[in-house]
Chains A and B, each alone.
Chain A
Amino acid sequence: MNEIHPKFAVVGHPNKGKSSIVSTLAFDDSVYISSIPGSTQKKQSFPLKVDGNILYELFDTPGFQRARRVLAWLQKHNVSADKRADVVRNFIEIHRDDERFNDEVELLEPIMAGAGIIYVVDASKPYSEEYEAQMEVLRWTGQPSMALINHISESDYSQEWKRALGHYFKMVRTFNPMKATFRQHLLLLESIAQMKEEWVAPVGESIKLFKQYHEQMFERSARNITQLLYKSLSYKEQLSIAQEDAIQEERESIALNYQMHLRSLEETSQKEIKKIWNHQHLQTDQALLRFKGTDLFSKESASIFGLTRKELLVTAATGGAMTGAGIDIILGGSTLLLGSAIGALVGGTGAFFGFNELSEVKVLGQNLGKHYLEMGPMENKNFPYILLGRAIYHATTVANRSHALREVATFSMDSTFKEKWLNEALRKSLEQQHNAFRSGKEIEPKELAKYEVLIREVLNHLVVK
């Protein structure tokens, strides 16, 4: 392991957003963040590793608890500035097992091991002189340092903070982990590197890698969504039947299974998206798929993400699918999507689509006398846009979400969302691919790659950089 990599200790008063900053800088939502002060009791290392090699290391540390006592202890030693770091080391050594100074030892240890200091304050609250003891203790360590102004709430006391911090730190930057964009994130890393000349190159390398990493996230998301669409549209559900013709229950059963499978594909895709963007710990207020109660096959989903009747007709005409059956499906589907319900189906969720509108249920019996029902590939013209709209909405919400946020994510519906990404030209391009996906034929990787490019462009447009 490379031990000379840059290290940065994020320190400060309790509950001022240290863990949030670490979480954002580390692209990781596993950092424990709590509104209860003193939740971080042990320092924790977040190394940026590339193929096992550490490029830099961030330390999340407990907040200062007894800064005045530590400072009093240090000040008892009347030493010249060049010896002050030794006094701090001595303090750590003597108080390593002293419970009273557990937090101070935890936060000072990485600093005395060479970590640069990132001192975090909350400028949404007024400056107070009680912070001065902490800053004085940090000054005793003699390590390179910078102050980071965080804004936990809306009020702004930045100016008074900057005036005070300027006395202790050469560099003062503002960074809101909850709202920071990727670009701001990289700018902060650049600033951090300025603390020490030797850190500029390795942190610069990390920035390059982060950019690459970010690009990978887009690529993988686009690939994931493409696979979701391809698998969903081409999927065929089969069900063995006892008789030559299927009874109503069997038809309903295959339709439900078909829907369930498509839901599970969407769920798997969403899980993967969260993994790609390092949001595995993201909680949603409903079951993953529900989008606050909006099921994949619901009327709401269709009206928010689906095409209008006019768009459907234009799209179908463009896609060359203006056959009688096609029109029936299109009109039947969209009419139902607009609200009319069909009965006779078990449960209510499937009613807005109608099984026949998703795909025809065929009775097949070529397999040496075994009869079975088959449903799929997806025939409904609107479904791909609903599925795609939901997938893009989910991916952009996850991608735009700060890793520091811990509250439950709510996927609030926005009826204007479709307008943000889907225009006529894109719809035409997508429709060609959707027709190929639903043809049931094997799709060449290069065809899938074309679709990926389209999705990638949409994500690029929607995700804040």
Chain B
Amino acid sequence: MNLKTYVEFYELLERNKVSREENRTFGLATEAISFSPFKQIVQWVEQYKSRLEQPSLSEKFSSYLYGITFTLVIGSFFLGLFSGVGLLSYSGHEPVNVIYFIAMVVLLPLTTMTFTLITMFKTHSTQPFLVHLSPAFWMEKLLQFLPRKLEVSVENFKVNPLLAQWLIIKRSQLLALVFSLGLLLALLGMVVTKDIAFAWSTTLQVSPQEFHSLVYSLAFAWRELFPWAVPSVELIEQSQYFRLGEKLNVQMVDNASKLGEWWKFLAFATLFYALLLRFMVWLLSLWGFRYALLKSFLSLEGSAKLLREMNEPIITTTPKQLNSIPTESHIQTSQSEDVLSSSYSKTLGWSLTLEELHLLNDSMGVESTEVFEVGGNNSLEQDTQVASHAKGEVLFYVKSWEPPTMDFVDFIEELTEVTSRVTLVPVGTVEEQYLAKPHEIEMWGKKLQLMGNRKVWLKR
């Protein structure tokens, strides 16, 4: 798990590279770890990262971040080195004041580490706290000066604020660590290559005993194991330096060989405060970064959806292919009439009883010599017989609400072979007083339109 995986995860979600079905298949394959969403996500990224176009955003982002970090690390190291050399430069006219170096390797690390710890505890607040003090914070700002092409590709990628804060904290600690390493190397280098006379000097009224007590306290971590790396009261007395008159104390000159002993204390102070403690804070920042990364994975937009897709069954009811929608024919127009004739050679009713047919004829004022019931429970032979004996104009009642079937169409075809004209009259239910509804008449009209039989007319 690292930032690269996080960016890959972001890119996979953003580019929508994996289908719902694949996610579910993956979820079923990793059911054993479904209790740990984070593990599932990391495995998912591993499985599908090969689908990202090369070079991927994660590679570009990581390489940039690496480049900038590397540059800053080198810079910090040399800054530390040159700062150390500067602090320890000794012209031979006056000794090197150890207070400067102690401030650099003890006071500065303790102060910045305190700020860092406060920042760590405050990372839950949504606004960055104290991270602006960190040089690593400005790394982000440096990204704005990236070449345009890369800027475009990374500017849309927004690191989770929590993760961004921990990233800054982590990298700040690394830079501080490297800076301190530069200081230590400067100290060792200067000690090896030069004969440095260390001294201490302050305007404050501090006696050698008091200063010893301070130094002794600072050396609490190593004074038992390495007592020779703690300056004695005698050394402190001998190395106190007053600038007045720009002349070296006679006592100092006499003990010049002993003044160099200070380097052991300074080296241990650097090792302990600037390196060891910083290293521990760096480890803490790694742990915090990991925690932030874990939270960021789960809070990334799309991650909840992904987990749902992995762990919830796909339920579908849709067919693979939908039937084509039939198009309506407009080639023919149905023939209709508004008024019925007063008499017809024959009256037929499709699935209507004889009583109903007589009643209908009476109500419509129609006379008919013969009335027959067709369709319904009639056999096909019975219908054929009725059709074959028909002639002239036929009045044909149908139930308006019953869609015409091919059974009916077959009969009409038979009927129109021997008759001159068939007038279809859709009738409603008894409750509707046999009045057909407009949409039902419309439905019959459409059917007749499709049939295209010129002998069939519709009573509207």
| B-binding residues in A (CB < 8 A) | 13-15, 26-28, 30, 32, 34-42, 44-52, 58, 63-69, 72, 100, 103, 125-126, 128-130, 132-133, 155, 209-210, 212-213, 216, 223, 278, 368, 441-442, 444-445
Interface string of B312-354 (1 = CB under 8 A from A): 1111111100110110100000000000000000000011000
Q: Assuming A32-B323, A35-B443, A41-B326, is B314 touching A69 (CB within 8 A)? A: no
Of all chain B residues, the one with the shortest Cβ separation from A155 is: B431
Option from B312, B314, B446 in Cβ contact (under 8 Å) with A36: B446
* A to B CB contacts below 8 Å, 12 in the list: A30-B319, A35-B439, A37-B404, A37-B443, A63-B403, A67-B407, A125-B402, A129-B376, A133-B377, A210-B315, A213-B315, A442-B161
Q: How large is the interface on B (under 10, 10 to 19, 20 to 34, 35 or more residues)?
A: 35 or more
**Structural contact, A46 and B317, CB atoms closer than 8 A:** yes
Q: Assuming A72-B379, A129-B376, is B322 touching A32 (CB within 8 A)? A: yes
Q: How far is the CA of A212 from the CA of B326 in the complex (A)?
A: 36
**Structural contact, B429 and A155, CB atoms closer than 8 A:** yes
**Cβ of A42 to closest chain B Cβ, rounded Å:** 5
Of all chain B residues, the one with the shortest Cβ separation from A281 is: B322
Residues of A near B312 (CB, < 8 A) are: 216
**Cβ of A20 to closest chain B Cβ, rounded Å:** 15
**Structural contact, B407 and A68, CB atoms closer than 8 A:** yes
Taking the complex as formed, is B250 at the interface, i.e. its CB lies under 8 A from any CB of chain A? no
6 further A-B pairs in the complex, CB-CB below 8 A; given A13-B405, A209-B313 = A14-B405, A28-B317, A36-B446, A51-B28, A67-B407, A128-B351
Of all chain A residues, the one with the shortest Cβ separation from B405 is: A65
Q: Assuming A14-B403, A44-B319, A51-B313, is B299 touching A445 (CB within 8 A)? A: yes
**Structural contact, A48 and B315, CB atoms closer than 8 A:** yes
**Structural contact, A64 and B405, CB atoms closer than 8 A:** yes
**Structural contact, A442 and B328, CB atoms closer than 8 A:** no
Q: Assuming A27-B317, A49-B315, is B403 touching A37 (CB within 8 A)? A: yes
Of all chain A residues, the one with the shortest Cβ separation from B432 is: A155
User: Looking at B24, B328, B376, B431, which has the most chain A CB atoms within 10 Å of its CB?
Assistant: B376
Taking the complex as formed, is B375 at the interface, i.e. its CB lies under 8 A from any CB of chain A? yes
Taking the complex as formed, is B114 at the interface, i.e. its CB lies under 8 A from any CB of chain A? no
Q: How far is the CA of A125 from the CA of B310 in the complex (A)?
A: 49
**Structural contact, A69 and B313, CB atoms closer than 8 A:** no
Of all chain A residues, the one with the shortest Cβ separation from B402 is: A128
Q: How far is the CA of A411 from the CA of B291 in the complex (A)?
A: 47
**Structural contact, A130 and B351, CB atoms closer than 8 A:** yes
Interface string of B399-419 (1 = CB under 8 A from A): 101111111001000000000
**Structural contact, B313 and A65, CB atoms closer than 8 A:** no
Residues of B near A32 (CB, < 8 A) are: 322-323, 325
Q: Assuming A13-B403, A65-B407, A442-B161, is B351 touching A44 (CB within 8 A)? A: no
**Structural contact, B407 and A44, CB atoms closer than 8 A:** no
| B contact face: mostly helix, strand, loop, or mixed | loop
Chain B residues 102 to 145 lying within 8 A of chain A, measured CB to CB, are: 126-127, 144
Q: Assuming A26-B318, A27-B317, is B403 touching A132 (CB within 8 A)? A: no
Q: How far is the CA of A51 from the CA of B399 in the complex (A)?
A: 47
Residues of B near A34 (CB, < 8 A) are: 325-326
User: Looking at B21, B401, B431, which has the most chain A CB atoms within 10 Å of its CB?
Assistant: B401
Taking the complex as formed, is B447 at the interface, i.e. its CB lies under 8 A from any CB of chain A? yes
Q: How far is the CA of A318 from the CA of B160 in the complex (A)?
A: 31
**Structural contact, A37 and B447, CB atoms closer than 8 A:** yes
Option from A52, A63, A72, A213 in Cβ contact (under 8 Å) with B405: A63
Taking the complex as formed, is B99 at the interface, i.e. its CB lies under 8 A from any CB of chain A? no
Option from B28, B350, B380, B402 in Cβ contact (under 8 Å) with A68: B380
**Structural contact, B323 and A40, CB atoms closer than 8 A:** yes
**Structural contact, B315 and A66, CB atoms closer than 8 A:** no
Taking the complex as formed, is B359 at the interface, i.e. its CB lies under 8 A from any CB of chain A? no
Residues of A near B144 (CB, < 8 A) are: 368
Residues of A near B430 (CB, < 8 A) are: 126
Residues of A near B304 (CB, < 8 A) are: 223, 445
**Structural contact, A66 and B328, CB atoms closer than 8 A:** no
Of all chain B residues, the one with the shortest Cβ separation from A37 is: B403
**Cβ of B353 to closest chain A Cβ, rounded Å:** 10
Taking the complex as formed, is B306 at the interface, i.e. its CB lies under 8 A from any CB of chain A? no
Taking the complex as formed, is B275 at the interface, i.e. its CB lies under 8 A from any CB of chain A? no
Taking the complex as formed, is B162 at the interface, i.e. its CB lies under 8 A from any CB of chain A? yes
Option from B160, B406, B446 in Cβ contact (under 8 Å) with A65: B406
Taking the complex as formed, is B298 at the interface, i.e. its CB lies under 8 A from any CB of chain A? yes
Residues of B near A130 (CB, < 8 A) are: 350-351, 375-377, 402
**Structural contact, A13 and B439, CB atoms closer than 8 A:** no
Q: How far is the CA of A52 from the CA of B406 in the complex (A)?
A: 39
Option from A46, A128, A444 in Cβ contact (under 8 Å) with B399: A128
**Cβ of B413 to closest chain A Cβ, rounded Å:** 12
Q: How far is the CA of A294 from the CA of B298 in the complex (A)?
A: 38
Residues of B near A210 (CB, < 8 A) are: 315
Of all chain A residues, the one with the shortest Cβ separation from B314 is: A51
Residues of A near B323 (CB, < 8 A) are: 32, 40-42, 44
Q: How far is the CA of A68 from the CA of B315 in the complex (A)?
A: 40
Of all chain B residues, the one with the shortest Cβ separation from A219 is: B308
Residues of B near A52 (CB, < 8 A) are: 21, 314
**Structural contact, B377 and A129, CB atoms closer than 8 A:** yes
Of all chain A residues, the one with the shortest Cβ separation from B439 is: A35
Q: How far is the CA of A30 from the CA of B325 in the complex (A)?
A: 11
7 interchain residue pairs of minimum CB distance: A37-B403, A65-B406, A441-B126, A26-B317, A15-B403, A130-B351, A129-B377
**Structural contact, A50 and B126, CB atoms closer than 8 A:** no
Residues of B near A48 (CB, < 8 A) are: 315-317
User: Looking at A30, A37, A130, which has the most chain B CB atoms within 10 Å of its CB?
Assistant: A130
Of all chain A residues, the one with the shortest Cβ separation from B325 is: A32
**Cβ of B373 to closest chain A Cβ, rounded Å:** 10
**Structural contact, B351 and A129, CB atoms closer than 8 A:** yes
Q: How far is the CA of A58 from the CA of B316 in the complex (A)?
A: 12
**Structural contact, B429 and A39, CB atoms closer than 8 A:** no
Q: How far is the CA of A38 from the CA of B326 in the complex (A)?
A: 10
Q: How far is the CA of A103 from the CA of B326 in the complex (A)?
A: 15
**Cβ of B217 to closest chain A Cβ, rounded Å:** 43
Q: How far is the CA of A246 from the CA of B122 in the complex (A)?
A: 37
**Structural contact, A49 and B314, CB atoms closer than 8 A:** yes
Of all chain A residues, the one with the shortest Cβ separation from B406 is: A65
Q: How far is the CA of A256 from the CA of B328 in the complex (A)?
A: 44
**Cβ of B408 to closest chain A Cβ, rounded Å:** 9
Of all chain A residues, the one with the shortest Cβ separation from B145 is: A368
Of all chain A residues, the one with the shortest Cβ separation from B404 is: A37
**Structural contact, B162 and A442, CB atoms closer than 8 A:** yes
Chain B residues 6 to 24 lying within 8 A of chain A, measured CB to CB, are: 21, 24
Residues of A near B313 (CB, < 8 A) are: 50-51, 209, 212
Of all chain B residues, the one with the shortest Cβ separation from A124 is: B401
**Structural contact, A49 and B162, CB atoms closer than 8 A:** no
Q: How far is the CA of A322 from the CA of B325 in the complex (A)?
A: 59
**Cβ of B167 to closest chain A Cβ, rounded Å:** 15
**Structural contact, A66 and B402, CB atoms closer than 8 A:** no
Q: How far is the CA of A48 from the CA of B313 in the complex (A)?
A: 12
**Structural contact, B322 and A209, CB atoms closer than 8 A:** no
Q: How far is the CA of A296 from the CA of B231 in the complex (A)?
A: 78
**Structural contact, B126 and A38, CB atoms closer than 8 A:** no
**Cβ of A268 to closest chain B Cβ, rounded Å:** 14
Residues of A near B24 (CB, < 8 A) are: 51
Q: How far is the CA of A278 from the CA of B319 in the complex (A)?
A: 13
User: Looking at A44, A128, A155, A441, which has the most chain B CB atoms within 10 Å of its CB?
Assistant: A128
**Cβ of B369 to closest chain A Cβ, rounded Å:** 26
Q: Assuming A28-B317, A47-B317, is B405 touching A66 (CB within 8 A)? A: yes
Residues of B near A13 (CB, < 8 A) are: 402-403, 405
Residues of B near A38 (CB, < 8 A) are: 403
Of all chain A residues, the one with the shortest Cβ separation from B350 is: A130
**Structural contact, B298 and A445, CB atoms closer than 8 A:** yes
Q: How far is the CA of A67 from the CA of B323 in the complex (A)?
A: 24
**Structural contact, A69 and B380, CB atoms closer than 8 A:** yes
**Structural contact, B406 and A66, CB atoms closer than 8 A:** yes
**Cβ of A433 to closest chain B Cβ, rounded Å:** 15
Residues of B near A223 (CB, < 8 A) are: 304
